[in-house]
A and B are shown apart, each in its own frame.
Chain A
Amino acid sequence: MIWREARGLPPAPYDPLGPKAFPIGVSVALAALGLAMLVRLLIGRSLGRAATGMVVGLDAAGDHARRPWTAAGILLLAFGYAGALSVRSIGFLPATAAYLFLSGVLLGPLAGRRVAAVAAFAVAAAVVLDLLFRILFRLDLT
């Protein structure tokens, strides 16, 4: 896709390479590496593993139960939060309060007092953040 898009770019005057050479070269090299990895897999060779993860705990299972549905839920809520912020009529404050509340509930046990505490924290944090960024930093968070 990148190769096709880059091929259509016009040349630049006095520039032997132009704007398309690097995207084409890198995409071809990437495709070649992908092919090499596929061939390795097909002949039964391992691709190896990164020695150390840069995101802590994503793959290292300990002696505790993992919660993939919670992790997926957190990611979905983040996408929902971004969607809510994109709708200007919703606004930063209600979107943030709702996001903090739902995430807080998702991450902890569903006990009545705890849910109330999470709700209080969500509203307070959203108000403070709204004031901080809208008034102090003059950021139009809408």
Chain B
Amino acid sequence: MTLADAFLHLFTLKAFAVMVGGVALGVSVGVLPGITAGTLMALTLPFTYQMSSVEAVSLLIAMFVGGVSGGLITATLMRIPGEPNAIMTCLDGYQLARRGQPGRALGLGNASSLVGGSLSWGALVLLSPPLARLAVSFGPFENFAVIVMALILISSLSEASFLKGLSSGLLGMLVSYPGIDESSGIVRLTFGVNALEGGFNSLPVILGMFAVSQVVADALNLEGGAEPIRASMRGMFVSLRDYAVHGWNMVRSSLIGIWIGILPGVGATVASIVAYTTAKNLSKHSDEFGSGSEEAIVAAESANNATTGGTLVPILTLGIAGGLTDSVLLGALVIHNLQPGPLLFKNNPEIVNTIFATHLVAHLVMFALMTFGIALFARLMLVPPAVILPMVIVFSVIGAFALNNRPFDIWVMLGFGLLGILLELARVPLAPFVVGLVLAPAAEAELRAGLMASAGSYLPLVQRPMAGTMLAIAAALFVWPFVREWRRAARGPAGRPPETGPHTPGG
């Protein structure tokens, strides 16, 4: 299936309905504060077993796009980020809406989301194939080195605590080991529990860590809501002049979003913050930021949608994921017996082209749905948590159970839900855990295959240029946080950056 075929297939009735449904569901959960696109995708995974891989991937990508975009509505009308990445939109979108222009705020955000998403599609389609061609020449040692580098990169780049991030990744790896060792067929680490012979399936673990934890977090903050501002289609349409005025801001913020999206584990929230800050620093009207600035809305929304394409690049070309939603996407590919990474381009080009085509068309569908269905989506904010939260648990339970028809998976899900809450409370990042869980079997299989081929010699790990380079990068990334800390300590307290921002009392 070529890219053109994938586009044509998307416009068949069933495929189009699946994609539109995915975008609509994604936007809907984006609107609902607390429930993220990642949660929705994790909840949907078990139900994709009934679908073909092409439909399942299309549905999940559509949800991903819809979810990233839907946060705009709640951020603008309630000053609550429906999705974490809409945090910067809250600042100015809500202020513009309060000044009587909710349609204008939503329209600008929606148009910026479309531009950001479309530009990131271009980056996805242009960057992925050459990177995959490079990666397809990798042998087992290179593949092992990529996974090691990814784990250390995610632990060091995305979060403030490197030690916690790395521990989280290693914990995820350990969770993947119980069960039958695929290389030797030996049952390991079951501790005498028969149910563990099948191992921990990644789906109940992911559902527990994100869906159950999220429900508990939402129950904790039940009274955090505000009275929503009413919205209609009025003002939703953005003129060509608006595109001309905000065009450069849209392109610049999109490029920031694409770049940050490609970096594992950084994600749309950071992209919108960086784009917002950049726009503010470069703006002639920086004093308006925070009080309903159109430039601010454009920057934040262009950037967070632009991460969607960037995020998919490392998943497709290297088989590595950094954040929650990309981890779920990675897990979905594995669950559907697809091997994420460069071989996907060779073995399953229909999946790659479906992802490309869905990514672009889903953005167009999202734009149309948000423009014409804004009043309907806005009403979702009124659905009480007493209805939504228990239903999320019920769907999680059904999803975990449906996997193998065994109650054990429900307990696994709840157990990992509890673990997710404890880790999150200790501010231990969860993304490395999921990446460790999903990638550990591949890392082990690759190294063992490589060592069998080299008669037990580890030398190819350092002698082969790509493997050696990636391990050197991994080593540098491992050492860098300690060097940075040592340098800060050597400079003394005066050399340290202020911890609470640039404002000092009286300043």
Contact = CB atoms under 8 A, between A and B. Distances in A.
B394 A82 contact: no
Nearest to B325: A54
Contacts of B164: 37, 47-48, 50
A37 to B, nearest CB: 5
Interface in A1-35: 1-2, 5-6, 9-10, 12, 14-20, 22-23, 26-27, 29-30, 33-34
B194 interface: no
B219 interface: yes
B486 to A, nearest CB: 12
A67 B223 contact: yes
B425 interface: yes
Interface string A65-87: 11110110111001101100110
Contact of B213 (A9, A23, A55, A108): A55
Given A16-B456, A33-B167, A67-B220, A5 B191 contact: yes
Interface residues of B, number: 87
B181 interface: yes
Interface string A42-62: 000001111111111111001
A58 B444 contact: no
Contacts, number: 238
Interface residues of A, number: 71
Contact of B159 (A6, A51, A133): A51
Nearest to A70: B219
B210 interface: yes
A118 to B, nearest CB: 7
Interface string B162-184: 11111100110110010001011
Contacts of A73: 219
B214 A56 contact: yes
Of A1, A19, A56, which is in contact with the most chain B CB atoms at under 10 Å from its CB?
A56
A12 B410 contact: no
Interface string B389-419: 1110110011001100101001100100110
B216 A75 contact: yes
Of B159, B219, B387, B421, which is in contact with the most chain A CB atoms at under 10 Å from its CB?
B219
Interface string B21-57: 0000000000001101010000000010010000000
B218 A57 contact: yes
A82 B407 CA distance: 8
B451 interface: yes
Nearest to A63: B224
Interface in B144-173: 158-167, 170-171, 173
B267 interface: yes
Interface stretch (B340-348, B356-364, B373-381, B427-435): B427-435
20 contacts: A15-B452, A30-B167, A33-B166, A48-B164, A48-B427, A51-B270, A52-B270, A55-B210, A55-B420, A59-B427, A67-B223, A71-B217, A79-B414, A81-B394, A86-B411, A99-B390, A104-B386, A107-B390, A125-B391, A140-B405
Interface of A: 1-2, 5-6, 9-10, 12, 14-20, 22-23, 26-27, 29-30, 33-34, 36-37, 40, 47-59, 62, 64-68, 70-71, 73-75, 78-79, 81-82, 85-86, 96, 99-100, 103-104, 107-108, 118, 121, 125, 129, 133, 137, 139-141
